[in-house]
């Protein structure tokens, strides 16, 4: 389905060097930040104490987080429901019970705001432990291998390598942004990251399918010209698909409340990165691997000949032989 058609090929690959340099630097920075600063893991991952407190007026979460720095450096503070209702999550501390942690937190808060009230306290055990994290890593590795095998059979190995590079680019940068911004990394965010992986693969497959077709029809063209032509041919579909998807994710972001805030944010960032990487990362990496698509994988088009045409041609030959 197309709402518009572009009749002139857009030179996407003309900007590939600058954009790929930016992507490479962003990828390295994201990896460095993740390994050196880590993620602001929620208590679903780490376990800890969760407190719900109520302030007499709108709470200043930044000030609360700064005040509670003496209790824990990894304390997470956010509002829920109203501006005066605050959720405080404190990681597990050795040698302290949940009640002792709650008492220490309330002591710090009441020193600044005596009217603050404790609504509830609960201990949240780590739902995602070492075993689940290991299983998740194994599952992710199997998914990557499965994608490579599928693309190798569906297209060829060069396409699978380009797609995996683009997918790793998207996932690492999304996680890196959460690490740099110190946004809370929850189970819904993890689900959003995995959804971004599938979304990015889908976009790459669509572009690669058109690239393969254009490799067949543009035999004498340069590889970059073929990629530019293929991406331009899919631009209408890309705009329609991603605009509708972004409307959904932005709706969750603005109207979904705190529960869907970081989930929708991760999806929005991942979808935008998926469009970018499918065009400027996967699309640029594939020609660098060299060569056109293998000829044995391209179907040969043959012109169908009707029986009537053969009969007419035979009669025409007989008439020509009778004429001296």
Residue pair 278/159 in contact by the 8 Å Cβ criterion: no
Residue pair 46/184 in contact by the 8 Å Cβ criterion: no
The answer to whether residue 81 is domain-embedded is: yes
Q: Which residue has the tokens 């002591």?
A: 107
228 with 174, same domain?
Answer: yes
Residue pair 176/34 in contact by the 8 Å Cβ criterion: yes
Q: What is the mean pLDDT of residues 80-92?
A: 82
CB-CB neighbours of 221 under 10 Å: 15
* CATH number, domain containing residue 116: 3.30.70.3400
Compute and round to an integer the Cα radius of gyration of the chain.
29
Flag the least confident range among 4-18, 47-61, 98-112, 165-179.
4-18
**pLDDT (tens digit, 9 = 90+) per residue, 22-63?**
999 999 999 999 999 888 877 777 778 888 999 988 888 888
Q: Which domain holds residue 88?
A: 48-124
**Which range, 82-86, 253-257, 261-265, 302-306, has the best average confidence (pLDDT)?**
261-265
**pLDDT (tens digit, 9 = 90+) per residue, 126-157?**
655 566 667 767 877 787 788 778 777 877 77
Q: Which residue has the tokens 């956010």?
A: 78
pLDDT band at residue 177 using 50, 70 and 90 as cut-offs: very high
Residues in the chain: 324
Distance CA 174, CA 33 (A): 12
The answer to whether residue 310 is domain-embedded is: no
173 with 58, same domain?
Answer: no
pLDDT > 70 in the chain, percent: 83
Report the alpha-carbon angle 228-163-284, nearest 5. 30
Residue pair 168/34 in contact by the 8 Å Cβ criterion: no
Question: For residue 34, what are the β-bridge partners?
Answer: none
pLDDT at 2: 56
Environment class of residue 119 by beta-carbon count within 10 Å: exposed (0-12), middle (13-18) or buried (19+)? exposed
**pLDDT (tens digit, 9 = 90+) per residue, 104-134?**
888 888 888 888 888 888 887 765 556 666 7
Longest Cα–Cα distance of the chain, Å, equals: 119
141 with 20, same domain?
Answer: yes
Kindly write down the DSSP assignment for every residue of 52-82, as one continuous string. Answer: EEE-SS---HHHHHHHGGGT-TT-EEEEESE
112 with 243, same domain?
Answer: no
């Amino acid at each position: 389905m197309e709402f518009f058609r572009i009749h002139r090929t857009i030179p996407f690959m003309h900007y590939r060097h600058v954009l790929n340099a930016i992507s490479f630097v962003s990828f390295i920075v994201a990896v460095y930040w993740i390994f050196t600063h880590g993620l602001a893991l929620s208590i679903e991952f780490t376990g800890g104490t969760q407190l719900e407190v109520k302030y007499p007026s709108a709470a200043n979460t930044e000030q609360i987080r700064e005040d509670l720095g003496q209790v824990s450096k990894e304390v997470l503070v956010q509002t829920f429901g109203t501006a005066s209702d605050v959720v405080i999550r404190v990681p597990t501390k050795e040698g302290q019970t949940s009640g002792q942690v709650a008492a220490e937190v309330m002591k710090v808060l009441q020193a600044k705001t005596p009217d603050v009230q404790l609504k509830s306290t609960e201990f949240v055990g780590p739902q995602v432990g070492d075993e689940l994290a290991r299983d998740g890593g194994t599952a992710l590795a199997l998914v990557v291998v499965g994608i490579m095998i599928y693309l190798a059979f569906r297209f060829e190995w060069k396409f699978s390598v380009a797609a995996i590079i683009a997918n790793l680019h998207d996932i690492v940068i999304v996680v890196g942004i959460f690490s740099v911004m110190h946004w809370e990394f929850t189970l819904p965010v993890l689900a959003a990251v995995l959804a971004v992986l599938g979304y990015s693969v889908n976009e790459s497959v669509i572009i690669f399918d058109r690239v393969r077709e254009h490799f067949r029809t543009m035999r004498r063209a340069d590889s970059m010209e073929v990629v530019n032509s293929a991406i331009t041919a899919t631009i209408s579909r890309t705009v329609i698909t991603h605009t509708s998807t972004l409307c959904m994710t932005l709706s969750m972001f603005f109207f979904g409340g705190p529960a869907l805030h970081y989930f929708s944010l991760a999806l929005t960032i991942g979808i935008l990165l998926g469009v970018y990487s499918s065009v400027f990362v996967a699309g640029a990496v594939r020609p660098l691997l060299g060569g056109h698509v293998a000829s044995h994988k391209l179907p040969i088009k043959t012109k169908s000949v009707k029986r009537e045409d053969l009969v007419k041609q035979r009669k025409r030959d007989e008439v020509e032989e009778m004429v001296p």
